[in-house]
């Protein structure tokens, strides 16, 4: 019995002692540079009076806190509506792109390419001004048209990434195209699509901030009202320091949920990955 040689990789080699010491040195140098940069930024903020009590006093008032919470709730409302509708639109357009009927496929392709190339802000303004739609529906419609078109391509690419033999085997068993798509292709494509889907959801979440341009009272709009208040010495930087962590936290929460879903999603053969027992790493001696 002899152990199987480790499979070589073209990506990188295992670093030796000198390389590990060099990597630690690079890590320490990069960490020191980042700390120095942060210290310089904080020093500038102190020097320009961004931490004075007058600039931070607005956040003590209940009315300001309620304004921010109401803006955050409106942001989440617009995001949830746009995300759900984007999934529906993306699924419909992806089915059209995968259709065997050429006119349907051409029509779906034209819709996807048009709305994917159109700037989100232009669509939101057109729906709000030209069609005279209220702020929330206009924002949701613009986000849905753009993100739905992008998700359609994500869905189509994910389905096409499944091995062709899976599709052929399902058809050989007598399954219809709808059954093949529902029970064979989509479950296996989920793992490949999930990172791109979450990335697009993060884009949709951040793009809800465009609502303040059409007077939708979302989170950024609430922050803008506070930041432009002359009574508190124009607290722009404090507002940014309050709002930015909230957006970052919501995006990190989406990424965490994606990581959890990816771990729970079934593998290509419908089961989770399991570690190989040590005795299976050997082969009989030749």
Look up the domain containing 145 and give its range. 72-264
**pLDDT (tens digit per residue) in 147-185:** 999 999 999 888 888 887 777 787 788 787 777 777 778
1 is a domain residue: no
Euclidean distance between CA atoms 261 and 204, whole angstroms: 19
Residue 204: band (very low, low, confident or very high) from pLDDT cuts 50, 70, 90: very high
This prediction has a pTM of 0.77
127 is a domain residue: yes
> What total number of domains does the chain contain?
1
Kindly tell me if the per-residue pLDDT of 11 is higher than 60: no
Average pLDDT over residues 141-149: 96
Kindly tell me if the per-residue pLDDT of 268 is higher than 80: no
11 is a domain residue: no
| Res 144: pLDDT | 96
130 is a domain residue: yes
Which residues on neighbouring strands pair with residue 283, listed in sequence order?
2
167 is a domain residue: yes
| Res 265: pLDDT | 60
Mean pLDDT, all residues of the chain? 83
Q: Which residue has the tokens 């432009």?
A: 228
The answer to whether the CB of 243 falls within 8 A of the CB of 223 is: yes
211 is a domain residue: yes
| Res 115: pLDDT | 94
| Res 234: pLDDT | 77
The CATH number of the domain holding residue 181 is 1.10.3720.10
163 is a domain residue: yes
Which H or E element spans position 219? helix 219-227
Burial 194-221 (b: 16+ CB within 10 A, else e): bebbbebbbebbebbbbbbebebbbbbb
Say which residue, 233 or 245, is predicted with more confidence: 245
């Amino acid at each position: 019995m002899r152990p199987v040689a480790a499979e070589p990789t073209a990506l990188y080699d295992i670093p030796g002692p000198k390389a590990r010491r060099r990597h630690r040195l690079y890590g320490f140098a990069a960490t020191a540079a980042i700390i120095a940069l942060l210290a310089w930024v904080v020093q500038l903020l102190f020097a320009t009076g961004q931490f004075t009590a007058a600039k931070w006093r607005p956040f003590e008032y209940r009315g300001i806190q309620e304004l921010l919470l109401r803006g955050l709730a409106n942001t989440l409302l617009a995001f949830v509506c746009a995300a759900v509708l984007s999934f529906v639109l993306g699924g419909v357009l992806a089915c059209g792109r995968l259709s065997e009927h050429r006119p349907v496929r051409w029509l779906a392709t034209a819709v996807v390419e048009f709305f994917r190339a159109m700037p989100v802000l232009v669509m939101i303004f057109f729906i709000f001004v030209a069609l005279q739609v209220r702020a929330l529906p206009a924002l949701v419609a613009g986000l849905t048209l753009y993100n739905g078109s992008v998700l359609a391509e994500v869905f189509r690419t994910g389905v096409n990434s499944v091995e062709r033999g899976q599709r052929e085997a399902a058809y050989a068993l007598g399954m219809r195209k709808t059954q093949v798509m529902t029970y064979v292709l989509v479950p296996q494509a989920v793992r490949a699509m999930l990172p791109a889907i979450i990335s697009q959801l993060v884009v949709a979440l951040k793009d809800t901030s465009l609502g303040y341009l059409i007077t939708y009272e979302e989170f950024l709009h609430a922050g803008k009202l506070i930041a432009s208040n002359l009574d508190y010495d124009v607290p722009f930087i404090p507002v940014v320091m309050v709002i930015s962590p909230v957006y970052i936290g919501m995006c990190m929460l989406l990424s965490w949920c994606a990581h959890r879903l990816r771990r729970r999603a079934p593998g290509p053969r419908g089961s989770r990955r399991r570690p190989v027992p040590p005795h299976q790493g050997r082969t009989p001696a030749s």
